[in-house]
């Protein structure tokens, strides 16, 4: 085991990949600005205000449109107050103004749906429930990820500038690079550490590789967390995060719980990628071919192939590669490569990625076992 570790530590290209993973983690911390989010939110609200003003001005004043005008006037007043609260920077005022605005919009949507069968309400109560939770529990409202450094770090790493797929790919490449560092055939010899079989040798190599990768990930993520804490503070780990559970019900958990759930699913997904890349190594020593295969499969969910074909979309949740964006799945907000499959849930992700990892490992070892002993 020590001999294998020494060999891995001599692979210079792995250190380059680790450095690249650290850069991926640091970029959103160093360059992400919440001002962009606030600007977008303000522009969207201003667009809504302009639309309401046109509705109030141009809608005919008759009995048919009377309710529309009344609702638009009410919503316009509340939207302007919401805009003022955004510009004021007063957290308490913003909380109540946004809550009132969203409740008014939802109610107006409901009223419009009663005007005819073609008026389908577009009501989303999730944000309302979160704001009500803050009011009921007397929690200061934070509408900025930048004021929640821990959440900002997660957003930057896993949902904003760089999807986690980039990080997973880097660490998978480290594993593949380690597995293929030396080419072996069925008649090799290892000085002083000759194993009784290929199974023994590969098991040691796989174990040491896993240790190396998870230590490398812990080191790079730890550095990113320290930099993030130094620049922005650690943040409130008890701040509520809204998710949707496996039953489709809205649930509110803490930032810490959200983080731990996401890390859990990310871990099983990374294990699957490592064991799957090990299976590719067992099947062929051609590193280029193996890299092409793993890259295509990792980025498969980002294409329209799975979502546009009805059969594949229906079985989306059985494909381990569908769970690359773990924190999206935990929140059940739909990954950024949107699938309308409701079974793409956190629990299903744990099951599918774990089974995928075990199957990849089992098949690999069976293939190795039936090769010539050394």
pLDDT at 30 over 80: no
**pLDDT for res 193:** 44
Q: Domain locations in the chain?
A: 2-32+161-369, 34-142
Q: Token pair for residue 192?
A: 């002083």
Report the alpha-carbon distance of residue 79 to residue 36 in Å, rounded: 20
**pLDDT for res 52:** 87
Q: In this predicted model, which residue has the larger pLDDT, 85 or 120?
A: 85
Question: HEC states along 330-357?
Answer: HHCCCCCCCCCCCCCCHHHHHHHHHHHH
Q: What is the mean pLDDT of the chain?
A: 77
CA 343 from chain center: how many Å? 17
Q: Is the dihedral of CA 127, 262, 295, 362 positive or negative?
A: negative
pLDDT at 161 over 50: no
Report the alpha-carbon distance of residue 225 to residue 217 in Å, rounded: 12
**pLDDT for res 130:** 83
Residues 194-221, mean pLDDT to the nearest whole number: 80
pLDDT at 113 over 80: no
Q: Band the pLDDT of 133: cuts 50, 70, 90.
A: confident
Nearest in space to 113 (alpha carbons), one of 53, 327, 105, 198: 105
CB-CB contact of 24 with 151 (8 Å): no
pLDDT at 174 over 60: yes
Question: HEC states along 242-268?
Answer: EEECCCCCEEEEEHHHHHHHHHHHHHH
**pLDDT for res 160:** 45
Q: Is 183 left (phi over 0), alpha (psi -120 to 50) or beta?
A: beta
Q: Band the pLDDT of 333: cuts 50, 70, 90.
A: low
Residues 105-127, mean pLDDT to the nearest whole number: 68
CB-CB contact of 212 with 178 (8 Å): yes
Q: Band the pLDDT of 121: cuts 50, 70, 90.
A: low
Burial tier of 212 (Cβ tally within 10 Å: 0-12, 13-18, 19+): buried
Please provide residue 120's backbone torsions phi and psi, each rounded to the nearest 5 degrees. Answer: -95, 120
Q: For residue 137, count other CB atoms closer than 10 A to its CB.
A: 9
pLDDT at 106 over 80: yes
Widest Cα–Cα separation across the chain: 95
Vertex 270 angle, CA 268 and 166, to 5°: 140
Q: Band the pLDDT of 36: cuts 50, 70, 90.
A: low
Residues 247-264, mean pLDDT to the nearest whole number: 81
Residues 276-282, mean pLDDT to the nearest whole number: 90
Question: Which range, of 43-47, 67-71, 290-294, 349-353, averages the lowest pLDDT?
Answer: 67-71
Residue with tokens 């990080």: 167
pLDDT at 325 over 60: yes
CB-CB contact of 315 with 247 (8 Å): no
244: β partners: 250
Report the alpha-carbon distance of residue 144 to residue 33 in Å, rounded: 10
Q: Band the pLDDT of 81: cuts 50, 70, 90.
A: very high
Residues 23-28, mean pLDDT to the nearest whole number: 79
Look at the pTM and tell me if it is higher than 0.75: yes
Q: Band the pLDDT of 352: cuts 50, 70, 90.
A: very high
Residues 278-307, mean pLDDT to the nearest whole number: 83
pLDDT at 181 over 60: no
Listed ranges 187-191, 223-227, 229-233, 352-356; the one with the highest mean pLDDT: 352-356
Residues belonging to the chain: 374
Q: Token pair for residue 139?
A: 């929690």
Question: Which range, of 31-40, 75-84, 165-174, 340-349, averages the lowest pLDDT?
Answer: 31-40
pLDDT at 146 over 60: no
CB-CB contact of 227 with 328 (8 Å): no
Q: Token pair for residue 113?
A: 């749906």
């Amino acid at each position: 085991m020590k001999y294998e570790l020494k060999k891995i530590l001599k692979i210079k290209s792995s250190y380059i990949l680790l450095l690249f993973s650290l850069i991926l983690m640091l970029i959103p911390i160093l360059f992400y600005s919440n001002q962009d989010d606030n600007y977008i939110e303000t522009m969207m609200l201003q667009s809504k205000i302009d639309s309401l003003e046109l509705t109030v001005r141009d809608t005919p004043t008759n009995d048919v449109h009377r309710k529309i005008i009344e609702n638009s006037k009410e919503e316009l007043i509340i939207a302007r107050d919401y805009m003022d609260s955004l510009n004021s920077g007063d957290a308490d005022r913003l909380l109540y103004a946004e809550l009132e605005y969203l409740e008014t919009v939802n109610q107006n949507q409901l009223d419009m749906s009663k005007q005819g069968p073609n008026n389908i309400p577009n009501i989303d109560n999730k944000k309302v429930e979160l704001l009500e939770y803050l009011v009921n529990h007397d929690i200061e409202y934070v509408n900025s990820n930048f004021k929640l450094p821990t959440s900002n770090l997660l957003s930057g790493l896993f949902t904003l500038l760089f999807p986690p797929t980039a990080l997973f790919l880097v660490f998978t490449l480290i594993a593949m690079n380690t597995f293929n560092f030396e080419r072996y055939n069925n008649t090799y010899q290892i000085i002083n550490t000759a194993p009784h079989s290929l199974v023994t040798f590969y098991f040691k190599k796989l174990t040491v590789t896993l240790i190396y990768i998870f230590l490398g990930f812990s080191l790079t993520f730890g550095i990113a967390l320290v930099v993030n804490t130094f620049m922005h503070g650690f943040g409130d780990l008890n701040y509520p995060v809204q998710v949707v559970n496996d039953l489709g019900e809205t649930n509110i958990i803490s930032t810490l719980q959200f983080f731990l759930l996401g890390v859990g699913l990310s871990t099983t997904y990374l294990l699957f990628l490592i064991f799957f890349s090990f299976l590719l190594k067992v099947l062929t020593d051609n590193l280029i071919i193996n890299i092409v295969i793993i890259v295509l499969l990792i980025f498969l969910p980002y294409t329209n192939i799975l979502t546009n074909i009805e059969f594949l979309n229906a079985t989306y949740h059985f494909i381990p590669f569908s769970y690359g964006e773990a924190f999206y799945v935990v929140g059940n907000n739909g990954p950024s490569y949107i699938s309308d499959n409701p079974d793409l849930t956190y629990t299903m992700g744990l099951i599918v990625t774990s089974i995928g990892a075990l199957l990849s490992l089992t098949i690999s070892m069976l293939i190795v076992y039936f090769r010539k002993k050394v």
